Amino acid sequence: MSTEKPIVSPFHIEEDWLAKARTLVEALPFMRRYTGATFVVKYGGNAMGDNGLAHNFARDMVLLKQVGANPVVVHGGGPQIGQMLNRLKIQSEFIDGLRRTDREIVDIVEMVLSGSINKSIVSAIHEVGGKAIGLSGKDGNLIQARKLRRTRRDPDSNIEKIVDLGFVGEPSAVNPEILDIFEESEFVPVIAPIGVGANGETYNINADTVAGAVAAALGARRLFLLTDVPGVMDTEGSRIQALNLNAARARMADGTISGGMIPKVETCLHAVEQGVDGAVILDGRVPHALLLEIFTEGGIGTLIHDD
């Protein structure tokens, strides 16, 4: 067997260097533009369950902090909650995509979200040279919550009935002072979507909803929702690069935006209406998706912005 090493052409090495240099040059104006900007990132789905993507995500958070941006992470954990409930042989049901959460289940939800998931993200950021701190919405009354109300129309009587989802909540207020402490520090806040009620109750809250509320409270430059699709798609199946508020509403009205994309777009609309400069839906399965969205012309997701 030959032990000779293949000869690498200096020309190919030079081309590789030039490609990296072009990437840095393209990113430079965006780095300047976003110095001091607050980015709220909802992290979850397949990206959180893949070790390689999780490692890349942690590196992205460190890089954003290094170039002067202020990333704030809000994470989900639905699949992990489901796995834990199955392991404990606890039955749960979903109503309109929301898990009915009784007192026993909400304790498990808090354990999984504020415990194992939150700390694993914090640890991943530390492992790649950054600094992070894990929080839940209960810390310092960061996320004050109220019980989420849902109704369902009875098909027989045609009467709307209130659906009791238990300890499923929605944000009633977000205390930005807690997060302002970390803005000038080296720490990346990592938030579990758990809220606290007026009487100290624990509420399980949808992570997209929490991310939108946090972004609005902070006056963030961008809200990023990492999903399992490239963004909002048109009727031909192509990604829509940008939508203003009116165009997004029109796409929902004509059915172009449908199914599980509707609540994500509604979260983006609400955040922009509350003062966030723009909200982006993008594919978290793409390695370094955030960097490609932030530091390249046109990005790789769908930007929803004000008129």
Domain assignment of residue 5, yes or no: no
More confident site: 128 or 36: 128
* pTM for the whole structure: 0.88
More confident site: 64 or 51: 64
Domain assignment of residue 8, yes or no: no
Residues 6+ apart with CB under 8 A from 90: 104, 105, 108
What's the pLDDT score for residue 211?
97
Domain assignment of residue 25, yes or no: no
**Structure tokens of 206?**
């949808």
Residues 286-298, mean pLDDT to the nearest whole number: 90
More confident site: 247 or 29: 247
Q: What is the CA radius of gyration of the chain?
A: 21
Q: What type of residue sits at position 262?
A: I
Residue 44 confidence (pLDDT) above 90: no
Domain assignment of residue 31, yes or no: no
Residue 145 confidence (pLDDT) above 60: yes
Confidence of residue 24 (pLDDT cuts 50, 70, 90): low
Out of 3-7, 138-142, 269-273, pick the least confident.
3-7
Domain that holds residue 179: 37-305
- Tell me the C-alpha to C-alpha distance, in Å, between residue 55 and each of 27, 78, 81, 164: 21, 20, 21, 39
Confidence of residue 260 (pLDDT cuts 50, 70, 90): confident
Report the number of distinct structural domains present in the chain.
1
Residue 291 confidence (pLDDT) above 60: yes
Domain assignment of residue 128, yes or no: yes
What's the pLDDT score for residue 23?
64
Tens digit of pLDDT for each residue in 191-242? 999 999 999 999 999 999 999 999 999 999 999 999 999 999 999 999 999 9
Domain assignment of residue 6, yes or no: no
- Report which listed range, 21-35, 117-131, 177-191, is most confident: 117-131
- Nearest alpha-carbon partner for 144 in 198, 98, 106: 198
- Tell me the C-alpha to C-alpha distance, in Å, between residue 243 and each of 53, 55, 252: 28, 31, 12
Domain assignment of residue 11, yes or no: no
Tens digit of pLDDT for each residue in 81-106? 999 999 999 988 888 778 888 899 99
- What is d(CA 50, CA 286) in angstroms, rounded to the nearest whole number? 11
Percent of the chain with pLDDT strictly greater than 70: 86
Phi, psi for 203 (deg, rounded to 5)? -120, 135
- What is d(CA 304, CA 281) in angstroms, rounded to the nearest whole number? 8
More confident site: 140 or 49: 140
Domain assignment of residue 280, yes or no: yes
Q: Give the domain CATH number at 253.
A: 3.40.1160.10
- What is d(CA 218, CA 220) in angstroms, rounded to the nearest whole number? 5
